[in-house]
Amino acid sequence: MEPKAALAAFFFWLRDYTMKFIDYVTINVTSGNGGKGCTSFRRETFVPLGGPDGGDGGRGGHVIFRANPQMGTLLDLRFQRIYKAQNGRGGAGQKKFGRDGKDCVIEVPVGTMLKDADSEELLADLDSPDSEFVMARGGKGGLGNSHFATSVRQAPRYSQPGLPGEEKHLLIELKLLADVGLLGLPNAGKSTLISVISNARPKIADYPFTTLVPNLGMVKYEDLRSFVVADIPGLIEGAHKGVGLGHRFLRHVERTSILLHMVDVSVGAEGDSVENMLTLNRELALYSEKLALKPMAVAATKTDVVDKEALDKLSSYCKTNDIDFFALSSVTNTGIKELLAYLAASVEKEVMEKELMEKEL
């Protein structure tokens, strides 16, 4: 392949890869205008003084957001930024009503948050499948002149115009719905773990930042309910300043029940095992205090090629600070069963507590 053709092919691949997971877009939506009312008088043979018979205008179409469980990205909204519902039709004689405008239904993934783009005020959170929210209501249709006839004004020659629709500038933000969030420095073994315990098949390689977008995997453990695990691209020190991939994807673990901090304790791993975990905690706190206070467990990874000193140091620190600790090897499946039992029980407990709170409300 010629150099120019190869370069063009690379840029097409890069564009497609970076666009396949879109979780942040801004769009404009406008609902339909109401149809105008009709000014008309009944004129039929043998019907003297028929009177006004102007019909009402139709309602303008709404702009409605709907959560589609089959979608996983805001990619469609990336390519279409302007959405407009249909205007209502005007009324007609013989008291014929105008047709309502067709609604504009925008489908988004479950977990999508709708915000005002200027104030960033949260308008709606579509966190359940098939949930809907009417973002912009269509304008009301105008009344025809048949509504304005009175005993003293029997032939009104006016009707109402339709009301205009609403226009909004929106910030659409996706937060994936996951029960467990996997966090760690680059190359900590998150992608390998999620590929072992779930149906996810992320890219796995022996270099940092192989995970460029979040991956979701469904996990089923014995008779407990299934839960979803999210693998987030690796964080590094200074992520809050945009270093590496920054904090861009941390929003996707804000809804989780528990965070699993994964620390590489293999021979040749960079940095101190405890310091690596503390670096991760600092970056979480700089992003969100609420996220930093979530229930947390620590997993030492790659124990099939373990640096025993690093493992013992991390284990001792977690024991001293009352942090749940697991030693794992995704290659040999060491510790995987115990970890799954712990995560499944943690998620089950969280779900039951939420259901109890909802019943009390």
- 3-class secondary structure per residue, 198-219: CCCCCCCCCCCCCCCCCEEEEE
Determine, yes or no, domain membership for 123: yes
d(CA 96, CA 106): 31
- What token pair was written down for 350? 């969280």
Mean pLDDT of 33-38: 95
**What residue type is 115 in one-letter code?**
K
Determine, yes or no, domain membership for 153: yes
238 and 106 in a common domain: no
Question: What pLDDT, in 10s, does the model give residues 76-115?
Answer: 888 889 999 999 999 998 889 999 999 999 999 888 999 9
- Helix (H/G/I), strand (E/B), else coil: 114: strand
Estimate to the nearest angstrom the gap between the alpha carbon of 324 and the chain centroid: 30
Estimate to the nearest angstrom the gap between the alpha carbon of 87 and the chain centroid: 30
Strand partners, 168: 29
Q: How confident is the model at residue 16 (pLDDT cuts 50, 70, 90)?
A: very low
Residue from 295, 54, 352, 347 nearest 179 by CA: 347
pLDDT of residue 18: 45
Question: What pLDDT, in 10s, does the model give residues 71-82?
Answer: 877 878 888 899
- What token pair was written down for 327? 């030693």
Q: How confident is the model at residue 13 (pLDDT cuts 50, 70, 90)?
A: very low
Determine, yes or no, domain membership for 1: no
CA angle 234, 326, 347 (to 5 degrees): 80
pLDDT of residue 283: 81
226 and 148 in a common domain: no
Q: How confident is the model at residue 11 (pLDDT cuts 50, 70, 90)?
A: very low
- Helix (H/G/I), strand (E/B), else coil: 342: helix
pLDDT of residue 85: 96
Least confident stretch, 202-211, 234-243, 252-261, 262-271: 202-211
From residue 358, alpha-carbon distances to 215, 279, 308 in Å are: 30, 36, 46
Residues 265/301, Cβ–Cβ less than 8 Å: yes
**What residue type is 80 in one-letter code?**
Q
pLDDT of residue 306: 86
Estimate to the nearest angstrom the gap between the alpha carbon of 71 and the chain centroid: 10
Mean pLDDT of 41-48: 77
d(CA 113, CA 122): 7
CATH number of the CATH domain containing 52: 2.70.210.12
Determine, yes or no, domain membership for 237: yes
210 and 75 in a common domain: no
From residue 191, alpha-carbon distances to 9, 46, 108, 259, 343 in Å are: 27, 84, 26, 15, 17
Taking 60 as the threshold, does the pLDDT of residue 35 lie above it?
yes
339 and 200 in a common domain: yes
* H-assigned helices in the chain: 3-19, 75-79, 190-197, 273-287, 289-292, 308-320, 336-360
Question: What pLDDT, in 10s, does the model give residues 168-207?
Answer: 999 998 887 788 888 888 877 888 888 888 765 644 444 4
Estimate to the nearest angstrom the gap between the alpha carbon of 42 and the chain centroid: 54
Mean pLDDT of 277-294: 84
329 and 225 in a common domain: yes
pLDDT of residue 361: 61
197 and 48 in a common domain: no
Q: How far apart are the first and last CA of the chain?
A: 66
CATH number of the CATH domain containing 268: 3.40.50.300
pLDDT of residue 8: 52
Q: How confident is the model at residue 237 (pLDDT cuts 50, 70, 90)?
A: low
d(CA 183, CA 191): 10
Determine, yes or no, domain membership for 127: yes
118 and 69 in a common domain: yes
d(CA 23, CA 155): 58
Mean pLDDT of 301-321: 91
Residues 139/164, Cβ–Cβ less than 8 Å: yes
Mean pLDDT of 138-156: 90
- What token pair was written down for 200? 């996810």
Residue carrying the six token digits 């590489």: 264
| Average pLDDT over the chain, rounded to an integer | 82
Residues 43/86, Cβ–Cβ less than 8 Å: no
Residues 170/114, Cβ–Cβ less than 8 Å: yes
Domain end, chosen from 174, 206, 224, is at: 174
- Helix (H/G/I), strand (E/B), else coil: 11: helix
193 and 170 in a common domain: no
Share of residues in the chain with pLDDT > 70 (%): 84
Residue of higher predicted confidence among 269 and 143: 143
Mean pLDDT of 125-152: 91
233 and 156 in a common domain: no
By residue range, what is the domain housing residue 234?
180-360
pLDDT of residue 176: 76
**Domains: count for the chain:** 2
346 and 262 in a common domain: yes
